Amino acid sequence: MLALRMIYMLVALILSITVHEFFHAWMANYLGDPTAKRMGRLSLNPLVHLDPMGTIMMLMAVYSGVGIGWGKPVPVNPYGGRMNPRTLMGITGFAGPFSNLLLAIAVAFPLRFGSLPAGVLRDFTWVMATVNISLAVFNMLPIPPLDGFSVLMAILNAIRRPWAYNSFQALARLESQGPILLWLLIMFGALMPVNILGLILSPPINFLYRLILGI
């Protein structure tokens, strides 16, 4: 049963990350930047979105329950669209987590209304819904290179107030340190008695579980 659940988790992650990256590419193209489309990323083929190292880490995360996998970042030219570069990046960034929420809602529908009999399909659908909710919440963390950081920077850039400008500039200076901070949160969270990242993510994830899955 454990092995079967691991297979469900791996397949769900691959499908969910594929949809996530496709929505990034689709939104960038919709907003006027065809970079991802020209590079073949406007596709639902998982092979064009999987990153070799991210895939290995995904396998390790599924096996050990610690860590995270990722897809190949979608190339976006912030100056190639029809709007402010930060706004374009914010909307394009938000499209990824939003797609995971939509996918979670879509697969949860038969679960909520009991139209799926117990068995493999129901078990996989449940895993698919929970994986997408978790991906959506995790990627909205305002830490670079996660999508939530692009969304936060777009919001701050749009607010014409000194505090927003100062916050924007301070975060921009720390942007290059974001990946290190993210890894520290993930690894120390797995080793420390109190998982800080888990404490941050659990409330919104549990709220969406109740809202979407009814649990």
Residues 6+ apart with CB under 8 A from 6: 62, 63
**Whose structure tokens read 């769900």?**
12
Residues 21, 29, 78, 151: which is the catalytic one?
21
Name the residue among 119, 186, 202, 106 with its Cα closest to residue 146.
186
| 21 catalytically annotated | yes
φ, ψ of residue 209 to 5 degrees: the values are -60, -45
Residues linked to residue 71 through DSSP beta bridges, in sequence order: 50
Cα separation, 29 vs 92, whole angstroms: 9
Do 91 and 28 touch, CB atoms closer than 8 A?
no
Do 205 and 133 touch, CB atoms closer than 8 A?
yes
Query: Helix or strand or coil: residue 140?
Result: coil
φ, ψ of residue 116 to 5 degrees: the values are -110, 125
- Residue 191 corresponds to which tokens in the numbers above? 């080793």
- Alpha-carbon distance values, 193 to 36, 196, 197, 198 (Å): 42, 9, 12, 11
User: What residues act catalytically?
Assistant: 21
